[in-house]
């Protein structure tokens, strides 16, 4: 399993099709889907987790995890300049998991110290996508991440976090090797989040693709952010 994951990360192209300005069509949202909108005219992006009933859980610019409407997600602050919400897909399949929505909602009301590099909206979404089985009466992955951030402010915080919390879940191994392969320094961007979502999906749903570099290269062309219908 380790060799398979390692070779996968070394083979995955750094560039995915994340140009949402192209006409990629649309797809219906489901609870647990990742959503994004433009900031500052599309120069950067904001992400959150759709939890159903027209509601999104996000980490806002003040460091507060809150549940908001779709309209507020688009227009909450002068930086949010988009009029469209997007969601990731692969081969026209929505990339989502109901547990991601459950994890996101467990963090509602959590007030953290926002950090553009180490505690941004993409960090929050990334933590919410680490589980595929619901857990009760346990700290969320995001809560554990924040606790470690409060103890260690170094730029390598994310690397030490994932290396120290590896357990039997393959997703932790996936993140560990993603970081090593890309020499990631702890800063999660929209592009790295897209890569992580793609890799998680391929390994979980279509593991045969990771055994062939050519197949994997073709597979990444099928990753697209589409307009979210809701």
Neighbours of 214 (CB within 10 A): 9
Decide: helix, strand or coil at residue 85: coil
> Residue 9: in which H helix or E strand, if any?
helix 2-11
Contact 18, 190 (CB under 8 A): yes
Question: Is the pLDDT higher at 174 or at 142?
Answer: 142
* C-alpha torsion sign, points 114, 39, 87, 189: negative
Question: Which of 182, 208, 207, 204 has its CA nearest to residue 193?
Answer: 182
Residue 183: phi and psi, rounded to 5, are 55, 45
Per-residue model confidence as pLDDT tens digits over 26-82: 999 999 999 999 887 777 899 999 999 999 999 999 999 999 999 999 988 888 877
Average pLDDT, the chain: 77
Question: Which of 178, 81, 80 has its CA nearest to residue 121?
Answer: 80
User: How far apart are the C-alpha atoms of 169 and 132, rounded to whole Å?
Assistant: 9
Per-residue model confidence as pLDDT tens digits over 11-28: 444 456 666 555 688 999
DSSP annotation of 108 reads T
User: How far apart are the C-alpha atoms of 149 and 157, rounded to whole Å?
Assistant: 7
Instruction: DSSP for 123-153, please give it.
Output: HHHHHHTS-SS--SSS--HHHHHHHHHHH--
User: How far apart are the C-alpha atoms of 155 and 38, rounded to whole Å?
Assistant: 26
pTM of the entire predicted model: 0.80
The pLDDT score that the predictor gives to residue 217 is 78
């Amino acid at each position: 399993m380790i060799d398979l994951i390692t070779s996968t990360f070394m083979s995955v192209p750094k560039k995915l099709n994340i140009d949402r300005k192209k006409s990629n069509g649309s797809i219906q949202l489901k609870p647990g889907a990742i959503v994004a909108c433009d900031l500052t005219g599309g120069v950067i992006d904001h992400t959150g987790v759709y939890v159903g009933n027209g509601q999104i859980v996000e980490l806002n610019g003040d460091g507060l995890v809150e549940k908001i409407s779709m309209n507020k997600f688009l227009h909450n602050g002068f930086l949010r300049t988009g009029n469209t919400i997007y969601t990731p897909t692969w081969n026209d399949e929505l990339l989502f998991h109901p547990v991601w929505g459950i994890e996101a909602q467990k963090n509602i009301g959590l007030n953290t110290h926002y950090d553009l590099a180490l505690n941004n909206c993409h960090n929050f979404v990334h933590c919410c996508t680490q589980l595929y089985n619901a857990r009760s009466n346990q700290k969320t992955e995001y809560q554990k991440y924040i606790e470690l951030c409060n103890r260690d402010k170094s730029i390598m915080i994310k690397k030490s976090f994932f290396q120290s919390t590896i357990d039997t879940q393959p997703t932790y191994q996936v993140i560990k090797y993603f970081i090593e392969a890309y020499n990631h320094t702890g800063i999660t961007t929209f592009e790295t989040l897209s890569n992580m979502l793609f890799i998680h999906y391929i390994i979980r749903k279509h593991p045969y693709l990771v055994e062939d570099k050519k197949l994997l290269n073709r597979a990444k062309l099928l990753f697209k952010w589409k307009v979210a219908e809701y």
